[in-house]
Amino acid sequence: MPQQPQPIAGRYELLEEINSGGMGDVWRGYDAVLDRPVAVKVIRQQAVAGSPQLAAEFAKRFKREARITARIQHPGVPQVYDAVLDDTDTAYERLFLVMELVDGVPLSSYIHPEHPLPVSWAVAVAAQVATVLSYAHEVPVIHRDLKPSNILVARDGTVKVLDFGIAAILRTDVTKLTATGSPIGTYQYMAPEQVRGGRTTPQTDLYALGCVLHELLSGRLLFTADSEYMVMHQHVNAAPIPLRELRPDVPAALEDLVLHLLLKAPEARPADVQEVYERLRPFLPPPGEKAVPGETGPEGAPDPTGIFRNPYAPRARAGAGRVAATPGGPDAVPAAPAPVPAQLREEINEAYAHSDALLAEERFAQAAEVLGEIIEPAARALGSENRKVLELRMQRAAIRLLGADYRAALPEFDALADAYARTGGPTSERARACRAQAARCRAELGQVTDALATLRNVLDVVRAVDGDVSEEAVELRRDIGMLLLAQGQAAEVHAILEPLHDDLRLVFGPDDEMTEEVAEALALIRLDLDGPTA
């Protein structure tokens, strides 16, 4: 097994390389201080090759550009959390950008010459990119390397523009930091002024946006040739093929905009990105309009038109669209338990041990992630409702609850409750426990009415099975009382907590933690109920 890289700055752990490019590698990382996943951009050491003076200038620019990039406050730009100049290795200094980890798919994954993207989908992406650029250009920050692989479409349809500032950090117009001295950028999207090594401006990003929009709508690169040099020569000298010659259904005004963006002289292009957005606006769906079939992009792809159809819409309701773990109703017969192979058993034990160690350090997000990595292979080998698999999922859900990640824990507890109802019966202990935990998550998320209804239903079952003073029953009675207390229903709370307090004193004693908690709540209620009246 390869040796894990040392944590950066004592807190950022590099877990898995997720992308590699000419300027550096991107790792999925973990922030041990704030217990959250991060993306870590590791700037290639070759970029700093040269004299000590060049290396010092590079580090200085790195810090400056990271600070400037962090000033772009827009949801379409992954947040910059930290910029680290790490000199723990005596051989050289290493440069890292620590950023928001985005769950999304590169735009390049959706481009195909035989499957053109819907006009509204392509325009929605371009409009979001234009919005991001408007905030960046105001700072001012010029991207310099805009291309489909630097644009992610997140699961909710939000477009994220990556690698702001990286090209500026490595630009050659001051220190010639690249080994070849060639211009920084990607030759398929390089504006004529970049090819010539001239000054870059916001219009440089507009040219690249024109290249991207042309590719989205046509399914092919703006220029192709047998060599990099010939493509760059075309950017400087060749006229682009109008979009409607490649795809007749593209509106004429949209073709005109793309040709305007692709003009050779920077000053001949649109005045600014705000003008570009206004010219894209007529092709965007208006608020409230429903999508017609085929308008929302490739099957399974996120829908970037959604933020225009439902601007500032709330999150989807918890549990919306949730699918049961496996088919079958309450009467489904569980499959016979599969034997656990020795190697898988060892891997499960290692995952528990690793997760427990992280949990002891209150690294909740990472502890849950460690279990998640073994759940899928275990489910494939043993079945999704095997006892071992359900126990792993139960532990992960419990960790998420402990870490206050109620939104992630809720659907897991709901699915587990259904699974345990199928395998052990709807009144089984584990099914009850999962329904109660799901209710607690709902309460934390503000869904108090649903939470109370579920807790009362579970309590009815527990009373019928184990009586009114079992540990499970008193916890449920306490939770119901405290939820009602938060809603200000003092009389109902008093009717629930007073007999509970008597039971707790009798069974657990007056010094028990829950007994004291309920006594304090009753004291507050009595102050309100028995206070002076007019």
Catalytic residue among 86, 103, 145, 502: 145
Q: Which residues of 26-41 are buried (b: 16+ CB within 10 A; e: fewer)?
A: bbbbbbbeebbebbbb
CA distances from 9 to 97, 103, 361 (A): 12, 25, 18
- Rounded distance between C-alpha atoms, residue 504 and residue 185, angstroms: 70
> Beta partners for 37?
30
Neighbours of 223 (CB within 10 A): 20
In terms of Cα–Cα distance, which of 167, 164, 144, 142 is closest to 152?
A: 164
Question: What distance, in Å, lies between the first and last C-alpha atoms of the chain?
Answer: 77
25 included as an active-site residue: no
For residues 284 and 126, what is the distance between their CA atoms, to the nearest angstrom?
A: 10
Separation between Cα atoms, residue 299 and residue 303, nearest integer Å: 10
Residues sharing a CB contact under 8 Å with residue 103, sequence separation 6 or more, in sequence order: 154, 155
Helix orientation angle between 364-382 and 387-402, rounded to the nearest 10 degrees: 160
Q: Assess contact for 496 and 526: CB atoms under 8 A.
A: no
186: left (phi over 0), alpha (psi -120 to 50) or beta: beta
Q: What is the rounded distance in angstroms from the CA atom of residue 31 to the CA atom of residue 24?
A: 20
Q: Is-contact 497 518, C-beta < 8 A?
A: yes
Q: Could you give phi then psi for residue 206, rounded to 5 degrees? A: -65, -40
Complete edge-to-edge strand list for the sheet that includes strand 24-31: 12-20, 24-31, 36-43, 94-99, 80-86
Q: Catalytic positions, please?
A: 145
